[in-house]
Structure 1
């Protein structure tokens, strides 16, 4: 069986997109941990033990923009109460009872200062937990960041924007977002994940994704004029999405974006000059330790084509 083993830049990005997608094991790890938390709450959370609540994984998990590997990911989890009395209670009271119950079982959990939000480390990732309840218009009521009251949170608002834009980009937006999140991870975690999704969606609003490399370069360039602004959550403009709030983070991030833009421009030029190996070296500088090597691409091609044994070995030897 013959196969073109000469790797291309696009092959590298296609493999990167595949590698950053959650595996079945990682997906199961998240849902099992969710189930364990819910079971514990049903057994130890007082009134909630009578089945008056459920848990929902929203945010990046529902959009499939969580990045593999799971290490250091933040998964949004809502504890939704069905008891009609909850709407008449102060959010701080509901949150305090929820927090006290969970910290007994998960002593490493901690409250984000000034918010009714609990960060709960599980295995190699964290849950970001908030209480809430379902409103009549099928959106959620969550604690306000400003006052001790419930406010409407239309969980579908950004999801609808994301789905529409992903369809327009023929399914590539989800891959680009995971790549940018991976770049953020290997570059020092300058951005909050949701903030980053909003930023990428914004700068690609009037853009057509034709290639991974050119799209990433466009994002690095366009983001320079976006990072100076705070992002409001489309679900409720009262909520400020955590992003770059510290001026030192802003300066270092702008330096990083400029550097990444220049490197991407250099890599694209080398690719146009058919200097693929050198272009791959540049992309490895942008995505250190995670961008696929030429050998990774050959192995990936062989696996996808069903080539095994001596034929696969021959492909790898020819690539060296």
Structure 2
């Protein structure tokens, strides 16, 4: 096995399939039906967005915080954001009373046995378009949103780079998850989707490992980041630098062992992932 083949296997394992996919699909269908029945004409539309639609969501075996982002667009815009959040909370309490339900501004989080939903209330403003609740620190109640803008950027980047960007993002998100999230998952994915990979694409027969190495080397944290985040990123950069050098020098077995320390097989990573 090589570094690239190991990363390929992990990236393939990071795709939701089979029973897990079917279970999630049933839950989405049930949620959609219940929203229609409960709210009726109060809603203008509702839909899935986020990593599930992009194909970059991780199985829960690789990320215990994997969730489905679901936008619920209400008719009218007469109320403050908390009013709409309260409406969604009452909805989930009505249908999912035995499940864990929390508010994580600006969403209502519904945690089921097999998946988590983040329900995002939204309104449509005639001038600004779709808007969602702003975070508490913002001066405005609502902020503009385009829930599918990252989808377009990611699709274009993936097509331009031999379909290697999506699997690379899944690998970086897996590293992020097993290291207690040094980065916000959405912001990490957005950064990787929007950056240029021109230097990697110019390599002769660029492989997944080249994109993964480049992505890790590009990551940076703000000066005020927690120390555990800095430690995790510094360790990742050091391992990537060493593995890259060893692979180039012909020490592939050594490089592979180093990358497996950074990105272990899923069965050996579960303890770290679930905090055991």
Q: Note whether the superposition's TM-score is higher than 0.5.
A: yes
TM-score (norm 1): 0.71
Q: d(CA) in 2 for partners of 1:195 and 1:270? A: 31
Residue aligned with 1:109, SS: strand
Of 262, 266, 275, which aligns to 1:290? 266
Q: 1:131 aligns with which of 118, 121, 125?
A: 121
Show the counterpart of 1:23. Answer: 17
Could you tell me how far apart the structure 2 residues matched to 1:155 and 1:148 are? 19
Q: How does 1:57-96 map to 2 (within 5 A)?
A: 57-69=48-60, 71-81=64-74, 83=75, 86-96=76-86
Q: Are 1:197 and 2:189 counterparts?
A: yes
Q: 2:241 aligns with which of 265, 268, 278?
A: 265
Unaligned segments of structure 2, at least 5 residues:
269-276
Does the 8 Å CA contact 1:139/1:156 hold for their aligned counterparts? no
Q: Which runs of 5+ in 1 are unaligned?
A: 1-6, 230-245, 293-320
What CA RMSD, in Å, does the superposition of the two structures yield over aligned residues?
Answer: 2.8
Q: Deviation at 1:136?
A: 6.1
- The SS at the match of 1:271 is helix
Which residue of structure 2 aligns with residue 253 of structure 1? Answer: 229
The answer to whether the 8 Å contact 1:79/1:129 transfers is: yes
The offset of 1:34, in angstroms, is: 1.9
Q: Which residue of structure 1 lines up, in the alignment, with residue 160 of structure 2? A: 168
TM-score by length of 2: 0.81
Q: What's 1:179 paired with?
A: 171
SS in structure 2 at match of 1:130: strand
Aligned length: 258
2:31 maps to what in 1?
Answer: 37
Whole-angstrom CA distance in 2 between matches of 1:214 and 1:40: 45
Q: How does 1:149-168 map to 2 (within 5 A)?
A: 149-168=141-160
Deviation at 1:177, TM superposition (A): 0.3
**1:32–1:136 distance in 2 versus 1, CA, 3 Å:** farther
Q: Deviations over 1:222-281 (max 9, x none)?
A: 213xx218xxxxxxxxxxxxxxxx732xx3222222211221222223323433322221
TM-superposition CA deviations, 1:128-166 (whole Å, max 9, x none): 111124566895232233357444312232222222222
Conserved in 2, the CA contact under 8 Å of 1:204 and 1:219? no
TM-superposed CA distance for 1:216, in Å, is 2.5
1:291–1:161 CA distance, 2 compared to 1 (3 A): farther
> Distance in 2 between the 1:125 and 1:68 partners?
9
Q: Is the 8 A contact 1:120 1:127 kept in 2?
A: yes
8 A contact 1:143–1:150 mirrored in 2: yes
1:122 Cα deviation from its structure 2 partner: 1.5
Give the equivalent residue in structure 2 for 1:211: 207
Secondary structure of 1:67's partner? coil
How far apart are the structure 1 equivalents of 2:259 and 2:51? 26
Q: Summarize deviations over 1:266-315 as a string: whole Å, max 9, x none.
A: 222332343332222111100123399xxxxxxxxxxxxxxxxxxxxxxx
The verdict on how the C-alpha distance between 1:129 and 1:36 changes in structure 2, with shifts beyond 3 A counting, is: same
* CA distance in 1: counterparts of 2:70 and 2:121, whole angstroms: 9
